Structure 1
Amino acid sequence: FCADLIVRFYNSVGTASTVHARLNHISEQLWLKDDDRIGQKIGLKMDTFMNTTYVTILYIINIYIIINADDPLDIILNSLALEFVETLDEVISDSAWWDGKKRWIRAGAVEIVLQNTLKASCLKSAIKFSEEFNIPDRVVSAMCNHHPTLFCDKAVAAEDVKNPQLMNKNELIKSRCVDIALRTRNLKALQEYKKSAVYFSSLEAMFHPCLPWVRNGGLFERHFMYRTWTRWNQVLYYAPVPDLDTLFERDENNKYVLSWHLKNIVHSVDKPFANFDDNEESTTWRFVRTYFKVVLLVDFIEHVVSSWRRSRLLRIPFHILNGLLTWIAYIVQLVFPIIASAIFVELLIEMRHDYIIPFYETYEGNDSLWFTS
C-alpha cells in the first residue's frame, strides 16, 4: 500500500507526464493567478486531499484495526468496509446517473486549458491588458467605453451576439431562420436552428428549472459575457506587430527557420525568455523539487509575498489556510511509510518473541516431539 500511496501522490502533485497530472498543474497555475472559479478551487484541493491525506487516513485506521482486533472476521469485514469507502468517489464518478460518457469531465478539462490560454484576468483590467499586449491602458479603456471590466460586459455581449453585421454567412442564415421560426411559432424549426443548452448528466437536467447557472446554458455559456465583438474589433489590430527578424532567418532554401542566435540567449529572472528552456528537468526531479518546496514552506512564502506585492491582501488568508493543509498532506506522505515500516518491524519482533522462540524452545526441550515431527 505504500507504493500505491506514492504513485497516487506522484500523479496528484502535477509534475508527472500523465493527463491527470498536467491538468492538476494547469489548475494550480490558474489558482495562483486567481483566474479560476470557486468550484474549480474547491475541486483542485479536494482532488489533492482525496488522493493523499484521505487515503492515508484510511490506511492508518486499517492498520490500527489490524493491530487491536482479536477476531480475524472483524479484521476482514473492517478492511472490506474501508476499501469500499476509499473507492466510493470513484464509484460515484463512474455511475451512469452522474456522467456516463465522461463528457462533463472532458469539457471541464477543455475549459481549464482555455482559461489558462485566454487569461481572463487580463481581459477584465485595462492595466493588465496593457502590460500583456503592449497597448496603452488609456487607449484600451477608451475603446471599451471606460467599462470597469473592459471586455467582460453582459449587456454588450447580448447585443453583439444578435448583431447581423458581426455574423458570418452561416450565422446570418441561422439567425434569420430562428427569427422566422419564432414569428411562425414553428417549434421543430426552432429546435433545428436555435442553439439549445446541453446537459451531460441526468442530475444536471434535473436541476435545470431551479439553478441559474444551469438554466442559462450550463457549461458552454460560462464565458458568454466576453463576446463583446464590437470592442474586440477595435482593439484586435491595435497592438504593435512584433519584430520577427530577431527570431527567424532564411536558410539555404530561402525558407524561414529559427535563428541560430537563440541558442546564445540565456533565460534569467531579470530577463526572462518565454517559451525557451534549454535545460528541461525530468518529471522525477521536478516532483522532488516541488515536494521539498512545499515541505520547507518555500512555496508558501513565495505565494504570500506575491499576493502582498500585487496588493491582493484578501488572498493571503486563503494562502495561509491552503499552505497549512497542503503542508499536512505532503508531510503525511513522508511520515506514514516510516511509521508503517516501524510498526511492521515491531510486529515481527513481537511475533519472534511470542511465537517463534517459544516454539523452538518447546521442541528443543522435548526430544519426542522433535523426532515425531
Structure 2
Amino acid sequence: MGDLEEARAVYFSDANLKEAYDEEAGLKNSSLSTQFRGCLGQVKFLLKKPDIKTLVDQAREMPNDLGEGALFGKGDWVEVRGNDLKWALARISDVQERQQNGWDKEAPENIGKSPPLTRFYYFGYGKERVGRDYDDFEIRTPREALENIFGKRPFVWQQYALIRLEAYLRLEEHHIYDFDDFDIYLTVRDWWREWLEHSENADFLEEVYRNEERYTQKLLFHHIMTPFKLMENIREDEEDWDFDDDSITVYTYLGILGDGTLMVTIVFFMQIIIPLILLYTSTVFGTEGSSRRGAGGNEFNRRFNPPNGTLFGSTTWDQFCDQGGSLQGKLLLAAVILIYLVQVIPDTLFAFYNVAGVGDSTFSKITSLRRIVYEQRKDHFFQIVGFQLDRWMNTAYISILYLIMLYILLMTENILDIILNALAIIFIHQIDENIANSPWWDADNRWITAGTLQLVIQSVVDKRVLGNAGRLCKAFDIDIEVYKETFDFKGSVFSNIPSLRDPQQAKRDEENRELKESKASRNVTTFDESVAHFGIIEKFMSRFGIYRNGGTFNKYEDYRVWSRWDDVVFMARLPDNLDDERLSNIKSKTPFADLNPFNTFIFNVAYKVGTFYYIFVDVYKSARTGDWATMPFRIVLKFIEGILDWISYFIPFAFPFIVVISLIMIPSCY
C-alpha cells in the first residue's frame, strides 16, 4: 500500500471522520452537533481545503481498490457537478457498486459474463452524506492538479476544439454534420489524438505527457472531454433531458437561442395587457346588472371611497366588508380560492424552485446552464432578455397574476363572471407554456436541443480571454514575446496585437477550410448553409446582414481564425516542476461543493439574492478585468436587477400566506 493509500485508510476510519467533523465544525461535545448538522452545509470536515501537492499526488497514484472502469476511489478529492451544473470541490467518502437493474444472468447472451455494475459515489458524512449513481463524466480530477502536472496547453486545445465543433455542427436534418447524428465524442477524441501526436507538440508529448502514468493521462483526457460528453448526454439521454417538459416557455427559447423575439413580444403583451383590462373593467365598470354597483357603476368607489369623496380617508371595515353578496357567490369564491390553495400554490413554489436551478427537471437544468453563461457574461443581448423574462415570469408574475385575480373576484358579483374570470387567468398564466409545447412550435424539439448544446459551448469558451492577446497569454501561460513574434507584430500598441477574434480573418480562414474539406469529401454542399435562426424577424434581418452572431452554432464565427489557432494550440509553456514544499503551501481555490439541493436553493435565493451578492460580484469582475469604463453602467444595471430579483423572489414566499388569509376574508366580505 502506497503512502497515499495509507493516508486514505487512516483519514477515513470512522473514529477519525467523526472527530474531524466535530472539531472543524466547532461543535465537539455539543448538543448542537446533532441538532444543526443539516443546516451547516459544507461547514464540516471538508472545510479544510487540500493543498495542490495533495491533489497532484492523488492524480499520480491510482487507488488499489478501483472497480473496473472506475477512475476515482474512496478518499479522492474530485470536482463534482451538482444540481446547479457547476463544478465544485468535494471528497469521496464512500463508493458502492450494485448490479444494474434488469440484467438477466440466465439469458444466453449473458452466460459467462460479469453483470454490469452501477457505481454510487457518496460525499460528506453523517446527516450531510449525499450520494447517487453519478455518471462517470459528472466527476473529474480538479483542474488545478492537472494544470500543475500537464500545464495549460491541453486547456487551450479544449477552447479550440469547442469552437471547431461549433463550426461543424448543423441544424439541417440529414446533413452530414447534423447535430442530432454527429458523433461528438468520437470526433473530438480523434482531434485530441491528432493534436497530441502533432510534430509541433513533440515537446509536450515527450517531456510531459509520456512521463506520466497511463492512469494520470486518462484523468487528463477525462477532464478535457467533460463538456463534449455532456453535449452527447443532452442529445441522447431522454430520461435526464426530456425537452417535452411542460415548464419550458417561449421565454426559455429566447433565453437559449436569442431568437424568437416576435412571438415573445406578443405573448408578453398578452400576459400583461389582458389582466390589466380585466382589472380595469371589474374596478371601474363593475358587473353588468349588479344591484351592488356604486355611483356611476364604479365598484371601487362603492367599497373604498366614502361619501365625502376622500379616498380611503374614512373608509370603515363595514363599508369595505359589506357582506352583501349571494350565498352561491360566497361558496363559489371559497371553492376557487381553495383550488388556488391546493394547486396553484404548490405549482408556484415548484416553478420557483425550478427557476432557482437546483431541481432535477429539464427546465431546471436548462436554467442552471443558462445562469452559468449569464454569470460569466458570455451571452448576447436577446439571450439576456429571454433569460430574465423567463425568471421573472415564472416567479413574481405568477403570484401577482393570481393576487390580481383575488381582487377581481372580490369585485365580481355575477357567478358566471367569477367562473369565466378564474378560467381566463389560468389561460393567461399558461399561454407561454402552451405555445412552447405546441407541435407547430418546435417539431421534435430540435431547436431547443441544439440551443442547449450551444449553451454548453458558451459556458466553457471564454471569449473575453480569446478576444484579447494579453488576457490570452496570461490565462494560458503563453510567452507574449513569442506570441508577437509568431504573428509578426512589430507595433508598440499592446491592444493592436492580433487576437483570436478577427471577423475578416475568420471569414477567410473558414472559407479556406470549407473549400478544403468540400474537396476532400467531393461534396461542395457540405458546408453550404445559411446561418440558422429560429425567429421570423431574425431570419429576415440575417438575410440582409443586419443581424450577426446570433445564429445557433454560429455564435463564435469571429473566433474561427484557424490560421492563428494552428499556432496558439502549441504555444503554452510546459509546466514548471515546483518542489513539494511550494506545492504544499498552495491551497486549492476551487469552491466547495454542497450537493444538498435544499442547501443550494437557500444559497441561490436567500444569500445571493437577499444580500445583493450578484451586484458585488459583477463589480468585482469588472474591476479585476479592467472594465472601468463600463463599471458605472454595470453598477446601475445590476442594482436595478437586484431590486427586481429581490421582489420577484419575495412575492412567491408571501403568496401562500395571502391566499390563506383570502380564503377566510374574501368569501366572508363578498
Task: Tell me the TM-score normalized by structure 1.
Answer: 0.72
- Structure 1 residues 130, 203: CA separation in 2 closer, same or farther (over 3 Å shift)? same
Structure 1 residue 135, shift from structure 2 partner: 1.4
Deviation per residue, 1:206-248 (Å, 9 max, x gap): 63775536799932333222111111111111213447999xx
**How far apart, CA to CA, are the structure 2 residues paired with 1:40 and 1:202?**
13
Aligned residue for 1:162, secondary structure, equals: helix
Find out whether 1:297 has 2:640 as its counterpart. no
Aligned counterpart, 2:120: none
Contact 1:17 1:283 in 2 (8 A): no
Aligned counterpart, 2:638: 319
Structure 1 residue 7, shift from structure 2 partner: 0.4
Letter in 1 for 2:360: S
Deviation per residue, 1:240-282 (Å, 9 max, x gap): 3447999xxxxxxxxxxxxxxxxx989xxx83344x84x5331
Structure 1 residue 315, shift from structure 2 partner: 1.9
- Structure 1 residues 98, 347: CA separation in 2 closer, same or farther (over 3 Å shift)? closer
Structure 1 residue 23, shift from structure 2 partner: 2.6
Structure 1 residue 42, shift from structure 2 partner: 0.7
Aligned counterpart, 2:473: 130
- Structure 1 residues 8, 198: CA separation in 2 closer, same or farther (over 3 Å shift)? same
Q: Bigger CA drift: 226-235 or 290-299?
A: 290-299
**Counterpart mapping for 1:1-373 below 5 A:** 1-144=344-487, 147=496, 150-163=499-512, 170-174=517-521, 178=524, 192-197=525-530, 199=532, 203=536, 207=540, 210-212=543-545, 218-242=551-575, 271-274=587-590, 277=592, 280-293=594-607, 294-312=609-627, 313=631, 314-347=633-666, 350=668
**How far apart, CA to CA, are the structure 2 residues paired with 1:69 and 1:286?**
43
Letter in 2 for 1:86: H
**How far apart, CA to CA, are the structure 2 residues paired with 1:291 and 1:209?**
38
- Structure 1 residues 297, 105: CA separation in 2 closer, same or farther (over 3 Å shift)? same
Deviation per residue, 1:21-68 (Å, 9 max, x gap): 233223223223221111111111011011111111211111112233
Percent of paired sites with the same residue: 27
- Structure 1 residues 221, 304: CA separation in 2 closer, same or farther (over 3 Å shift)? closer
- Structure 1 residues 131, 160: CA separation in 2 closer, same or farther (over 3 Å shift)? same
**How far apart, CA to CA, are the structure 1 residues paired with 2:483 and 2:363?**
38
- Structure 1 residues 206, 171: CA separation in 2 closer, same or farther (over 3 Å shift)? closer
- Structure 1 residues 292, 234: CA separation in 2 closer, same or farther (over 3 Å shift)? same
Contact 1:196 1:217 in 2 (8 A): no
Deviation per residue, 1:97-142 (Å, 9 max, x gap): 5423322211211111101111111110123222321113444455
- Structure 1 residues 228, 145: CA separation in 2 closer, same or farther (over 3 Å shift)? farther
- Structure 1 residues 215, 297: CA separation in 2 closer, same or farther (over 3 Å shift)? closer
Contact 1:12 1:24 in 2 (8 A): yes
Aligned counterpart, 1:186: none
- Structure 1 residues 215, 123: CA separation in 2 closer, same or farther (over 3 Å shift)? closer
- Structure 1 residues 93, 207: CA separation in 2 closer, same or farther (over 3 Å shift)? farther
Q: Bigger CA drift: 21-30 or 305-314?
A: 305-314
Contact 2:373 2:379 in 1 (8 A): yes
- Structure 1 residues 143, 116: CA separation in 2 closer, same or farther (over 3 Å shift)? farther
Give 5+ residue unaligned stretches, structure 1: 179-191, 247-263, 355-373
Contact 1:10 1:16 in 2 (8 A): yes
Structure 1 residue 202, shift from structure 2 partner: 8.0
- Structure 1 residues 216, 34: CA separation in 2 closer, same or farther (over 3 Å shift)? closer
- Structure 1 residues 290, 60: CA separation in 2 closer, same or farther (over 3 Å shift)? same
Higher RCO (C-alpha 8 Å, min separation 6): 2
Contact 1:157 1:226 in 2 (8 A): yes
Higher helix proportion, which one? 1
Contact 1:12 1:21 in 2 (8 A): yes
- Structure 1 residues 69, 301: CA separation in 2 closer, same or farther (over 3 Å shift)? same
**How far apart, CA to CA, are the structure 1 residues paired with 2:398 and 2:385?**
18
Letter in 1 for 2:649: Y
Aligned residue for 1:219, secondary structure, equals: coil
Letter in 2 for 1:341: V
- Structure 1 residues 8, 232: CA separation in 2 closer, same or farther (over 3 Å shift)? same
Contact 2:469 2:500 in 1 (8 A): no
Contact 2:506 2:560 in 1 (8 A): yes
Deviation per residue, 1:321-366 (Å, 9 max, x gap): 2111111111112222222222224357x48xx9xxxxxxxxxxxx
- Structure 1 residues 160, 305: CA separation in 2 closer, same or farther (over 3 Å shift)? closer
Letter in 2 for 1:292: A
Q: Bigger CA drift: 281-290 or 85-94?
A: 85-94
- Structure 1 residues 284, 38: CA separation in 2 closer, same or farther (over 3 Å shift)? same
Aligned residue for 2:653, secondary structure, equals: helix
**How far apart, CA to CA, are the structure 2 residues paired with 1:265 and 1:48?**
43
Contact 1:307 1:316 in 2 (8 A): no
- Structure 1 residues 156, 281: CA separation in 2 closer, same or farther (over 3 Å shift)? same
Aligned residue for 1:324, secondary structure, equals: helix
Give 5+ residue unaligned stretches, structure 2: 1-343, 490-495
Contact 2:549 2:557 in 1 (8 A): no
**How far apart, CA to CA, are the structure 2 residues paired with 1:229 and 1:209?**
24
- Structure 1 residues 281, 243: CA separation in 2 closer, same or farther (over 3 Å shift)? farther
Aligned residue for 1:207, secondary structure, equals: helix
**How far apart, CA to CA, are the structure 2 residues paired with 1:56 and 1:149?**
51
- Structure 1 residues 72, 139: CA separation in 2 closer, same or farther (over 3 Å shift)? farther
